[in-house]
Amino acid sequence: MDKREMKQCQNCKKDFTIESEDFDFYKKIGVPPPTWCPECRKQRRLLFRNERILKKNKCFQCGREIISLYDMESPFNVYCQECWWGDLWDGTQFGKEYDFSRPFFTQFHELFQEVPRIALNGHRSNKDSEYVNYIIEAKDSYLCFGGGYIENVLFSTLGVRTKDSAEIYFSFDCTFCYEISDCFNCYRLIFGRGCVDCRDSYFLDDCKNCNDCILCSGLRNKSYCYKNRQLSKSEFVAIKEEFGNLTQNKISSYKKEFVSIALQTPKRFLDISHSQSCVGDHITNSKNCVFSFNIIEGENCKYSSDIMFKAKDIYDGTSCGIGNEQIYEAMTSSININQGKFSSVVRNNCFDIQYVMDLHSSSHLFGCIGLKNKQYCILNKQYTKEEYEELVPKIIKHMNDMPYIDQKGRVYTYGEFFPLELSPFAYNETIAQEYFPLTKEQALTQGFGWKDSDTKNYSITKKPEDLPDSIKEVNDSILNEVIGCVHGGTCVHQCTTAFRIIPQELEFYRRMNLPLPVLCPNCRHYERLAQRNPLKLWKRQCMCNESRIEDQKQKAHQNTVVHQHGEGRCPNIFETSYAPERKETVYCESCYQNEIV
Ligand SMILES: [Zn+2]
Ligand SMILES: [Zn+2]
Ligand SMILES: [Zn+2]
Ligand SMILES: [Zn+2]
Ligand SMILES: [Zn+2]
């Protein structure tokens, strides 16, 4: 039976559709249909993940100085990794009797203020990587967030099985790479976007199985190409020499050229490979994943992003890892999580959990925070199986009879994710700012918190313009300098205004012949993100033979073969992550395959 339904979003007041298959999913997992639209739901989840704004704090248990998501002024008792994972405390000691005279979320919020919080979302599998967050199996790595199985990696987000590399975004199995995003299995690729099996190259966009190429876009199985032209080996070697000692000046002029070269080749409407029935972007080896982004080995996922490896039946999941199944409204769900609803940071092996935060290896929990190896708890209080099974339906009914109403009048019954007010972070400290950027004024008007960046203790000893051009002129004394960021805190990137170079980093630049950076790590991350399409789709027509393109014929791509649709414009319509105002020539699958093979 088809029962498609149009609803108005409780938050943004825009209309959204709930499809008949969605109703089936909600019924299967026992939740009511949502009252917020998919975008607002995503934004609400992202507000619970602070990846990269790290602060100094002290462990409440052992007194050690630590790096934490929370500063000294926060209301939480913050524990270092050892103390949080240790046996000296037990989350059930904070257990509370459920109070049927007050809303659920009010009681949950009180518990949330009392239970100790882990300093960083690290994992015991991380080694010699103090400054990493939301990551597993990281070794000798620094300022890396999300993903895992990395070694000697600097400044990465969602890097997986990657080694000896820096400045990474959503890339897999890469070694000796620098400034790459959406790349797979690359080696010595410096500045790369959407490349697979490429090596010994600089500035590549959408290339596959290429080696020794520079400033190229849309190439397959090529060597010795420069600006998309085939050169002889000796011609190429002469040019490559110049790239052996990059300076910031050279990089910025190559970057400009790179942008115009990339514009000359048609873009595939979506980056989806080895997948069936998927709509979204950056999807690989997946099946039936729709309105989803950054998915590797996903099946039946909807409105989800950052899903990696054997994950199945997920609606509204963000950052779900290996073996997640039957998940709804989850922000950070690590390994082997089954039947998880409304959760933020669930680590390994959890089953049948609802309204939970900071869990590890637990099952049958409702409204719990910071529990390890527990079963049948509500608000951290231990019950028997029978008591638990009797109480949970009563609480669900109570959540509907006495809903929580937030400051903006939004109503939270059973079936809503955590109220925005429960996030311990300011809007611009979280990844909500990365995917739904707001100015300070916009954030405050919409009822979000905002944190101005901390400039307090930095006295800059080196201006970015005074840095040596080439890494060859840099000596070890640079390690003592406090370098000013070019943005100087004027952007909305949580600019730290200044930064230091660490020894491991200096070694990397020397080895790769790369100049010192002139932006702080946060600004570098945001600049990289700006190169990537947003997690959004627009309905558009294939641009093949579009007259607007004809006018720019000198610059834009000219087809090399006759297409099925003939001389006229291709009629194909698709959902694409390229917004209509963008300059790229966006092709449907068939036109793209005709030109880029
Ligand atoms: Zn909305
Ligand atoms: Zn900065
Ligand atoms: Zn900036
Ligand atoms: Zn087409
Ligand atoms: Zn065509």
pLDDT tens readout for residues 3-45: 899 999 999 999 999 999 999 999 999 999 999 999 999 999 9
Among the bound ligands, the one closest to the CA of 594 = 5
Q: How far, in Å, from the CA of 524 to the mean position of ligand 3?
A: 7
Kindly identify the ligand whose nearest atom is closest to the C-alpha of 590: 4
- For the cut 90, the answer to whether the pLDDT of residue 140 exceeds it is yes
**Bridge pairing between strands 267-268 and 586-587:** parallel
Q: Cα 416 to the chain's mean position, in Å?
A: 22
Cα–ligand 2 centroid distance for 216 (angstroms): 29
Kindly give the distance from the C-alpha atom of residue 8 to the centroid of ligand 1, in angstroms, as a whole number. Answer: 8
pLDDT at 130: 86
pLDDT at 348 over 60: yes
Tell me the ligand closest to 436's alpha carbon: 1
CA torsion, ordered 252, 253, 258, 260, to nearest 10 deg: 120
Identify which ligand lies nearest to the alpha carbon of 13. 1
Q: What is the Å distance from ligand 2's center to 385 Cα?
A: 52
The answer, yes or no, to whether residue 555 has pLDDT greater than 70, is no
Q: Hey, which residues does 292 pair with through a beta bridge?
A: 280
Q: What is the DSSP letter of 516?
A: P
Distance 494 CA to ligand 3 centre (A): 7
Give the single-character DSSP code of 317.
Answer: E
- Whether residue 190 is predicted with pLDDT greater than 80 in this model: the reply is yes
Going from the Cα of 41 to the center of ligand 1, the distance in angstroms, rounded, reads 7
- State the distance from the centre of ligand 5 to the C-alpha of 558, rounded, in angstroms: 10
**What spacing in Å lies between the alpha carbon of 522 and ligand 2's midpoint?**
6
Rounded to the nearest angstrom, the distance between the alpha carbon of 263 and the centre of ligand 5 is: 17
- pLDDT, position 454: 64
User: Which pLDDT score, from 0 to 100, does residue 126 have?
Assistant: 86
Q: What is the mean pLDDT of residues 206-233?
A: 97
Ligand 3 centroid–CA 483 distance in Å is 14
Distance 277 CA to ligand 4 centre (A): 18
At 174, is the pLDDT very low, low, confident or very high (cuts 50, 70, 90)? Answer: very high
- What pLDDT is recorded for position 314? 97
**Separation of 524 CA from ligand 2 center, angstroms?**
7
**Structure tokens that stand for 570 in this block:** 């291709």
| In the predicted structure, residue 553 carries a pLDDT above the cut 80 | no
Token representation of residue 277 = 């029935």
Ligand 3 midpoint to CA 495 (Å): 5
Question: Burial, 449: exposed, middle or buried (Cβ in 10 Å; 0-12, 13-18, 19+)?
Answer: middle
Distance 279 CA to ligand 5 centre (A): 21
CA of 166 to the centre of ligand 3 (A): 18
Cα dist from 247 to 13, 98, 166, 472, 488, whole Å: 49, 62, 17, 10, 21
* Ion ligand 3, residues whose Cβ is below 5 A away: 487, 491, 493, 495, 523
Query: How much is the CA Rg of the chain, to the nearest whole Å?
Result: 25
Q: Where are the beta strands (DSSP E) in 254-405?
A: 267-268, 272-273, 279-284, 287-302, 305-320, 325-359, 363-369, 375-378, 381-382, 404-405
Residue 286 CA, ligand 5 centroid: distance in Å: 26
How many angstroms separate the CA atoms of 108 and 404, rounded? Answer: 11
Report which listed range, 125-129, 138-142, 547-551, 566-570, is most confident.
Answer: 138-142
Of the ligands numbered here, which is closest to the C-alpha atom of 39? 1
The one-letter code for the residue type at 285 is N
Overall average pLDDT of the 443-471 stretch: 86
Higher pLDDT, 386 or 459: 386
Ligand 2 center to 595 CA (angstroms): 40
- What tokens appear for 385 in the block? 């199986």
Measured in Å, residue 570 CA sits from the centre of ligand 5 at: 5
End-to-end CA, the chain: 42
Q: Which ligand is nearest to the CA of 574?
A: 4
Ligand nearest to the CA of 540: 4
Choose the weakest-confidence range: 325-339, 341-355, 470-484, 545-559.
Answer: 545-559
Coil, helix or strand for 307?
strand
For all residues of the chain together, what is the average pLDDT? 94
Distance 213 CA to ligand 5 centre (A): 27
**Per-residue pLDDT band at 244 (split at 50, 70, 90):** confident
Using CB atoms within 10 Å of the CB of residue 287, give its burial: 0 to 12 exposed, 13 to 18 middle, 19+ buried.
middle
pTM of this structure: 0.93
Q: Please give the distance, rounded to the nearest whole angstrom, from the Cα atom of residue 261 to the centre of ligand 4.
A: 21
Taking residues 203-232, report their average pLDDT.
97
Ligand nearest, relative to CA of residue 12: 1
pLDDT digits (tens, 9 = 90+) for 66-125: 999 998 889 999 999 999 999 999 999 999 999 999 999 999 999 999 999 999 987 778
401-420, pLDDT tens digit by residue? 999 999 889 999 999 999 99
Separation of 554 CA from ligand 5 center, angstroms? 18
Q: Rounded to an integer, what distance in angstroms lies between the CA atom of residue 209 and that of residue 214? A: 14
Distance from residue 539's CA to the centre of ligand 1 (Å): 19
| The predicted structure's pLDDT at residue 438 | 92
Whole-Å CA distances, 236 to 94, 242, 476:
67, 10, 34
